[in-house]
């Protein structure tokens, strides 16, 4: 089988994987290290690399090999890999090279300018760049939708979340909308009667970093294959052999950087434990963005905000920042589980978080489907924030519609994966608890080995071998069921 069609494909995808590696590390450097003057040159270099990958992937021989490989004698794993190869090929073949390049350049330009425009609250400057990104994203969506026979938005959603549709999201989100506002109001009312002591800063960034590194160590991050840095927007990037995570520090606030690190460590552990025997092949990649988010939220919310884990963190917090009254156990736990609707998505508590996601989903879908224009975003954002969380973002673009990085490079269709991820995380944690009877006491003693083995066996080691639905069914015994998320929030907060 040395020169079978399937072998030709595996060699091609191995090459593509190596270029993706370079692209990922150059992208990480652009966000974490690069001086501002390098922006244009880096944007052009990444666009060039993107075009090269597109040329390799859409070569007509790849199409022929994919077709011919269907009749070759392949085992289950190879068939799954062929399915994923075909998906990558079909998604790329729909787009002309010129659009791939233009989109990459527009995204780099918009993202780089956003870094200074956001602090300056400069909506006019930002929206001028965003219009170009939206124009190109709509063009991409139109080409994909024509081929798939679906709506423009669904065509982009499929890139991040294969087989998910906005019709299905609407059902899931309508269910959330039916009970979440009431739960949120009850929790806020209940907590308003509790007097809490606020942690007193300043909390020096260098010390916060030390604390973050200790939390990463506790959670099993492999520092031989990854590192922690600073960026304007926290993210997890790089490749499974070299995972780069970032956070941002605020010296007046202790918890957002710490839990940002815990969140990104969840992403990183998934990447570091993807199936090494298939590395370089599409089947070795993470299943989808919602499954990726389920891992980060599993770490940050299910595990990280649990009473047992916070008790475990307290000695390190006292060691670094002193034994102040706010770090008394009951106060610290209550402070961490405080539900307080706010402007910023990445700092939101887990009860109000879905509101931030549904708001963005509704706006980006209308934008891609052509029902609204970029100019309409601020007013819609304000209206939805007032309806959901009782907060106005009028003229506050920095903490409103300019706060996220995702739209700057055309990541439309990504946002729903955060709330899908929270639902998957709740369902997975419930299944793990059922499978591991002593889980809570193990967490309290700092022993996560059984929990991480369970994740490794049920999620991490499978990469993209199964569809999302199959993966979740195999792990939990049923397909996505939002009841677990509701039960989790009710149990923890009411």
Domains, the chain, with CATH or none: 5-160 (no CATH), 161-494 (1.10.1370.30)
Give the pair of three-digit tokens for residue 450: 């059984």
* pLDDT attached to residue 217: 97
* pLDDT attached to residue 72: 98
User: What is the arrangement of strands in the sheet containing 242-247, beginning at the earlier edge strand?
Assistant: 226-230, 242-247, 236-239
Q: Which of 407, 422, 397, 294 is nearest to 360 (CA)?
A: 407
- Contact, 494 vs 186, CB < 8 A? yes
* High-pLDDT (> 70) share of the chain, %: 100
Report how far residue 305's alpha carbon sits from residue 328's, in angstroms, rounded to the nearest whole number: 16
Report how far residue 275's alpha carbon sits from residue 286's, in angstroms, rounded to the nearest whole number: 10
Q: Could you report the per-residue pLDDT of 286-313, keeping only the tens digit for each?
A: 999 999 999 999 999 999 999 999 999 9
Count of Cβ atoms closer than 10 Å to residue 410 Cβ: 25
* Phi (first) and psi of residue 77, to 5 degrees: -65, -45
Count of Cβ atoms closer than 10 Å to residue 75 Cβ: 8
Catalytic residue numbers read 264
- Contact, 295 vs 271, CB < 8 A? no
Q: Could you report the per-residue pLDDT of 406-461, keeping only the tens digit for each?
A: 999 999 999 999 999 999 999 999 999 999 999 999 999 999 999 999 999 999 99
Cβ within 8 Å of residue 450, ≥6 positions away? 436, 438, 439, 442
Give the pair of three-digit tokens for residue 29: 């450097």
Using only C-alpha atoms, the chain has a radius of gyration, in whole angstroms, of: 22
Is the pLDDT confidence value at 252 over 70?
yes
Is the pLDDT confidence value at 336 over 80?
yes
Please report which confidence band the pLDDT of residue 1 belongs to, taking 50, 70 and 90 as the band edges.
Answer: low
Continuous segment of H or E residues that includes residue 63:
helix 60-69
* pLDDT attached to residue 414: 97
Please report which confidence band the pLDDT of residue 3 belongs to, taking 50, 70 and 90 as the band edges.
Answer: confident
For the chain, the average pLDDT equals 96
Report how far residue 400's alpha carbon sits from residue 382's, in angstroms, rounded to the nearest whole number: 8
Count of Cβ atoms closer than 10 Å to residue 377 Cβ: 23
Cβ within 8 Å of residue 289, ≥6 positions away? 160, 161, 414, 417, 421
Report how far residue 449's alpha carbon sits from residue 464's, in angstroms, rounded to the nearest whole number: 24
Count of Cβ atoms closer than 10 Å to residue 23 Cβ: 18
Q: Could you report the per-residue pLDDT of 337-354, keeping only the tens digit for each?
A: 999 999 999 889 999 999
Tell me the β-bridge partners of 238. Answer: 243
Angle at 184 between CA 304 and CA 265, to 5 degrees: 20
* Phi (first) and psi of residue 61, to 5 degrees: -65, -35
Count of Cβ atoms closer than 10 Å to residue 437 Cβ: 10
* High-pLDDT (> 90) share of the chain, %: 98
* pLDDT attached to residue 347: 86
């Amino acid at each position: 089988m040395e020169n079978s069609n399937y072998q030709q494909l595996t060699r091609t995808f191995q090459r593509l994987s190596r270029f993706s590696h370079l692209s990922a590390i150059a992208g990480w450097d652009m966000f974490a290290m690069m001086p501002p003057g390098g922006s244009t040159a880096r944007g052009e270099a990444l666009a060039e690399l993107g075009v090269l990958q597109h040329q390799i992937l859409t070569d007509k021989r790849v199409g022929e090999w994919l077709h011919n490989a269907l009749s070759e004698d392949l085992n289950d794993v190879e068939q799954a890999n062929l399915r994923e190869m075909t998906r990558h090929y079909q998604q790329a073949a729909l787009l002309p090279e010129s659009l791939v390049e233009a989109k990459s350049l527009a995204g780099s330009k918009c993202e780089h300018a956003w870094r200074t425009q956001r602090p300056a609250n400069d909506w006019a400057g930002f929206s001028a760049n965003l219009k170009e990104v939206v124009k190109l994203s709509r063009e991409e969506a139109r080409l994909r939708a024509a081929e798939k026979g679906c709506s423009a938005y669904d065509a982009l959603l499929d890139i991040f979340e294969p087989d998910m549709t906005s019709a299905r999201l609407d059902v899931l989100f309508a269910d959330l909308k039916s009970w979440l506002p009431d739960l949120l109001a009850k929790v806020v009312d209940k907590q308003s009667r509790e007097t809490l002591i606020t942690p007193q800063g300043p909390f020096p960034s260098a010390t916060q970093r030390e604390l973050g590194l200790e939390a990463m160590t506790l959670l099993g991050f492999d520092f031989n294959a990854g590192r922690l840095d600073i960026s304007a927007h926290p993210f997890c990037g790089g490749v499974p052999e070299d995972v780069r995570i970032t956070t941002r520090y605020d010296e007046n606030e202790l918890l957002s950087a710490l839990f940002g690190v815990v969140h990104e460590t969840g992403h990183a552990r998934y990447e570091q434990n993807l199936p090494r025997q298939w590395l370089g092949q599409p089947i070795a990649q993470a299943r989808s963005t919602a499954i990726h988010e389920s891992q980060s939220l599993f770490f940050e919310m299910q595990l990280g905000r649990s009473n047992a884990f916070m008790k475990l963190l307290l000695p390190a917090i006292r060691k670094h920042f002193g034994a102040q009254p706010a770090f008394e156990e009951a106060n610290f736990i209550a402070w961490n589980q405080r539900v307080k609707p706010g402007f910023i998505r990445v700092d939101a508590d887990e009860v109000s978080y879905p509101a931030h996601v549904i708001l963005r989903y509704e706006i980006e879908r209308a934008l891609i489907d052509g029902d609204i224009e970029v100019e309409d975003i601020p007013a819609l954002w304000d209206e939805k924030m007032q309806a959901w969380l009782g907060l106005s973002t009028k003229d506050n673009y920095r903490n409103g519609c300019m706060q996220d990085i995702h739209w700057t490079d055309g990541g439309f269709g990504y946002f729903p994966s955060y709330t899908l991820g929270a639902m998957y995380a709740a369902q997975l944690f419930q299944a793990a608890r059922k499978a591991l009877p002593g889980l809570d006491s193990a967490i309290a003693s700092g022993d996560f080995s059984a929990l991480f083995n369970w994740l490794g066996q049920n999620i991490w080691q499978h990469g993209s071998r199964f569809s999302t639905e199959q993966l979740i069914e195999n792990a939990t015994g049923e397909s996505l069921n939002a009841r677990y998320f509701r039960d989790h929030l009710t149990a923890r907060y009411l």
